[in-house]
Structures are given as C-alpha cells and as structure tokens.
Amino acid sequence: MAAVVGVRPYAAAMTGDRVVDEVVEPAFRTESERLVWQELRRQLPVDAVVLPNLRLTDEELDHEIDFFVMIPGAGLVAVEVKGGDVRIDADGRWRQGRRAKVIDPVGQVRRGKYALRDYVEQDPRWRDSSRRHVRWVHAVVLPFSRLPADFAHPECPRWAVSDRDDLPRLAERLADSARRQETGRRAPDEDDVALVREILTGRGVLEPDPGAEADERQARADRLTREQAMLLHVTRLLRRVEVRGGAGSGKTVLALTQAKELTRGQGERRPQRVALLCYSIGLAAYLRREVAAVPRRHRPAFVGCFEDLARELGIHEFAARDDTDFWEQRLAPRMTELAQALPDGRKFDAVIVDEAQDFADDWWRPLMSALRDPDEGGVYAYSDENQRIFARFGRPPVELVPLVLDHNLRNTQQIATVFQPLAPMRMSLRGGDGPDVRFVACRPDEAMDLANDEVEALLDEGWPAKDVALLAVGSRHQEQKERQDRRGHQGYWDSFWDEDDVFYGHVLGCKGLERRAVVLCVNADDTLERATEKLYVGLSRATDRLVVVGDPRVLRAVGGDAVARHLGLAAGA
C-alpha cells in the first residue's frame, strides 16, 4: 500500500450529552448521510468520536469515507452509506437506484479503511507511542433499504451491514461489528482514540499567520500604487508641482518613483541631477535604503534629510537638536550661501521634498539656490497639511500646481476609518479588509505599561517582532531612549529594519514610515502641543493591525467625536 499523503476531516465532534468541541453541521450531499449522522450523534456513547466526510489521498487513489467512528472498547469503524434502493442481483453484484447502477460499497469502504489505517500507523506519533495494533473494521449502512431475513453475502455478513430497520440500534450494531472483526487486535482505549484524532488533523499543520494576509494586502497596495504612478506620466511636462494627499495615499512611493524616473530620463527628457529630501532622519534612512536597491543610473544624486544636505554643502558643526534658533534661523542662510557657490556640475536640475509640510520657509531658500536654473528647475513637494506637527509654516517661494491624491491604499479599511476624520480630505478607502482596531482604556500614566502588554499580545498572535512597533504620543519609551543613547540617532533609526526586534519610537519621528502592527500609546493629556496632528500621525502608521492605548476622554478631546465613535467609545466617555 502506498503511503497516504493527505487527509482532511471535514468535521469532528464528541457524541452524546457531553459536547467537547463546538459542533459544526457538516455539508452532506445526500439525505441518507444526514440521517445516519443524526442517528450516530444521538446514539453513540459520550467517549466516542465520529468524523463525517473523511477524505484522504494516497499515491494510488482518492478515498472518501462517509463516516469514521471511533468507539473506545470496541474498534475504529469505517462506514460506507448507500442511500435509495440498494439490492444484489443474481450474479452477486450490488446495484443502486432505478437505473440499477453497479456499485461496490464493501470494496470501497475496505480500501478506504486500509488507506486510513496505513496513514495513522505510519505517523511518527503513533509509532513512537509503542502502541500495539488496534482493531480497524468496516461496515455498510443502507438507511432506506430493507434486507431480506435470510440475507447473506460472502464479503459482507449480515452483522456488518445495517438497513433501515437497524437504524434505531446503529451505534450498538457498529460496536458489535467491531468486536466480531480482527479479534487478534486489541480494542482501542480513549487514549488511542485521542491520538488517532490528533493524527487526522495532519502533520506540519499550518498555524494562523497574520503576516500572510498582510502580505496579500501589501501586494494589492503595491499594485494600486503602481497604477497611481501613472499620474507622473500625465504631469511629466509640469516642472513645479505640489502633490497633496492624506496618510496612506502613497505620497512617499510616488516621490521615490519620480526621483528615479527624473534621474533616468524618459523619452525626450534627458537624465537629470535630482535631490530627494525629507525632514526626519527615519524617513531619510528609508529613502536611502530604497534607492540603494535600484541600478546606479536610476539613483538620485542626493538622498537625505535637511541636515544631510547641510553636510553635503560643507557644514559639519551643528547645535543641539533642541536649539530651534540654530535649526530654523541660522542654518538656512549659511546653507544658501554655500549652495549659491556650488559649481554648476554639483547643482541639481530638480528637488523633490517628501513630507514638505515640515519644511520652514527659510529651508526652501538653499534648495532653490542649489538648482542650476532657479527659474525653471523642477520643484516637487509632497505634503499632508494635517500632519504638520511642528510650529513652522513654510511654503516654497514659487507657485506650484496642486494635485490631489484622494485614495488611501496602504491601511486596512478598519484603520483608515478611524483616522479619516482627521485627514485633510475625504478619502476613498481601498486598502482592503483587516482586523478591527482595538482600544484599551486607561489613564495616561498607565498607558505605557499597558502598551507593553499589548506588544506582547501581538507577538503571541503570531506577528513577527520586525512587523511590530510601539509608538508614543507623549514621553518616549525607555527602550527608545536607551537605543538612542547606545547607538546614536543614525544607529537608532537603522534599527527600524532589525529583523528580530520590536521598534520603539515616537510619532514625531515616524512620519512617512509604517509598520504592519502598531501599538499607539497615548501617554499624554489633551494639552499636548498639536495633539490632534500627532494623533493623526500615530493612528495612520499601522497598515494592518492597530491597538490604541489611552484615556477615552483624551482621545475624544483630541480626536473629536468621530474618531471616538470609530474607536468604539461610548457617548460621553
């Protein structure tokens, strides 16, 4: 007998008054099978197990066993059910129905029994159990036929086949049939039955994998983003453009795509020297990683944040990060002088700024000065005004043609629905279906500890650590502080792509970045500066799984009634 390579029980249930598993009504093809199922469920003892519609495949044949009944103290019984009018002709052949179709119920159930027995007894769990062979038998049930009183058949004695009159005693007859067959093998006990049932669930069983659905949603989002990139072809003759869109609309992907296309050149357009910029160190690290993966001729001349551009221009001494006068007042004029003095070969044909709402007015001046042609050079800004979380309101010093992205592609519909009331425009949600957003109510001072618990819960769900982030709205997580002290700012952001670690961050640094599963820790009250914008950023960083931990009153005060309602907060909470 060839080794069985597959088996699938369609349903399983303990019988009698004690229900061990939730019973799902199987989908039966015939009323005869349904009738037998009902009788077995009613009659079998509480320690018996019945598996209906059991299918298995070996190298020779596909088998189907209508019912596999395991009765401790009796045997393991494969049952074949034949409905309608069943009879045996003068030549000893079984026939069924008005057209007298030739059938072979005994041969069919016997082959299925042996295939199933081989499958179980070849399983390492059975072999390693040091169990002796148990009793495997077969039986035939004819629920709508009546056998004559003197019925006898060489391959099927009367006690191995039950007709319509036997149905009220069907369980008893199956147990008796098991005791009459294979008497050289022992009757199974409850442990045998439990192990056989476990084996019939298969080896190497697939565990729930939240990443699998996330992979499918990401593939769909990538396809939609590529379709959206056609916008760049439509606007290729425009040199001054502002692309506006809410979170998840694909702005960063479009900015990257445009940078590569301008660098490569298209059609009649010559290759250009392009600078791709953003504000945050984390987003700059992401952009550099993406650019490093493309052929060299497609890589922009410069990729980085505003501070990186200052270094590119020759500035190497910087003030502390909390010295706003240096970063927003003194740095830009010095950069402008250095940019104006650049030789033509080091200047740019186009500058592209992602998360442009974070750039101050003065920051645009060195960018314009770094263009070969300040009057005609390309200027492309990608922005979301509702993610403006810094107290600066810069605009490019040139007119830009506005284009609007009104589709959310990256977040599940459940996540996007929560933050959509905070978005700059009404968006069409195309990110696919996912799990509901979970809200954990607590005081702000309790939020961090409970957020840590939710991270552990996500890992227990099966999310890989590399897909999980804890983002704080108020004070930073202790783990973030330690990583920044230990690795420095650049090393800390490089850890965003660590394969084995959860990422701990703050919403201020994570704009333009995303994680599949995010715990948003709202560990601040409603007096936090630009709290609404920070909440919007935090809610939109998760693409597939979002858990929000915080005070319901703070969430309502900061996010408004619509966000509170979508988080499931009761009115007045």
Tell me the pairing of strands 49-58 and 4-8: antiparallel
Instruction: Return mean pLDDT, the chain.
Output: 87
Q: What is the pLDDT of residue 528?
A: 84
- DSSP line for 153-213: -TTS-GGGEE-GGGGGGHHHHHHHHHHHS-TTSBPP-HHHHHHHHHHTT-SSPPPP-HHHH
What's residue 268's pLDDT?
Answer: 61
Mean pLDDT of 494-515: 92
Q: Residue 298 — pLDDT band, cuts 50, 70, 90? A: confident
- Which pair of tokens denotes residue 212? 């699998």
pLDDT at 20 over 50: no
Q: What is the CATH number of domain 5-9+20-201?
A: 3.40.1350
Find the mean pLDDT for residues 476-483. Answer: 95
pLDDT at residue 337 greater than cutoff 90 = yes
Distance, in Å, from the CA atom of 171 to the CA atom of 43, rounded to the nearest integer, reads: 6
Q: Distance between CA atoms of 139 and 466, rounded to whole angstroms? A: 54
DSSP H helical ranges for 349-443: 364-369, 413-419
What percent of the chain is modeled with pLDDT above 90? 57
pLDDT, tens digit, 9 for 90 and up, residues 150-174? 888 888 889 999 999 999 999 999 9
* Predicted local confidence at residue 571, as pLDDT: 64
According to CATH, the superfamily of the domain at 428-567 is: P-loop containing nucleotide triphosphate hydrolases (3.40.50.300)
Report, as an integer, the average pLDDT of 454-483.
95
Number of neighbours of residue 204 by Cβ within 10 angstroms: 5
- Distance between CA atoms of 297 and 288, rounded to whole angstroms? 15
Residue 202 has pLDDT above 50, yes or no: yes
Are 236-405 and 428-567 equal in CATH topology?
yes
Q: What is the pLDDT of residue 205?
A: 54
Q: How confident is the model at residue 209 (pLDDT cuts 50, 70, 90)?
A: confident
Which stretch of 147-151, 473-477, 500-504, 519-523 has the lowest confidence by average pLDDT? Answer: 147-151
pLDDT value at residue 395: 79
Task: Give the pLDDT mean for 235-263.
Answer: 89
Phi and psi, residue 325, nearest 5°? -60, -40
Q: Is the pLDDT of residue 99 over 90?
A: no
pLDDT at 262: 93
**Domain 236-405 is classified in which CATH homologous superfamily?**
P-loop containing nucleotide triphosphate hydrolases (3.40.50.300)
DSSP β-ladder status, 515-522 and 503-506: unpaired
Domain locations in the chain as residue ranges: 5-9+20-201, 236-405, 428-567
Residue 354 CB-density burial (10 A; 0-12 exposed, 13-18 middle, 19+ buried): buried
Q: What's the rounded mean pLDDT across residues 303-323? A: 92
- Looking at residue 565, its pLDDT comes to 94
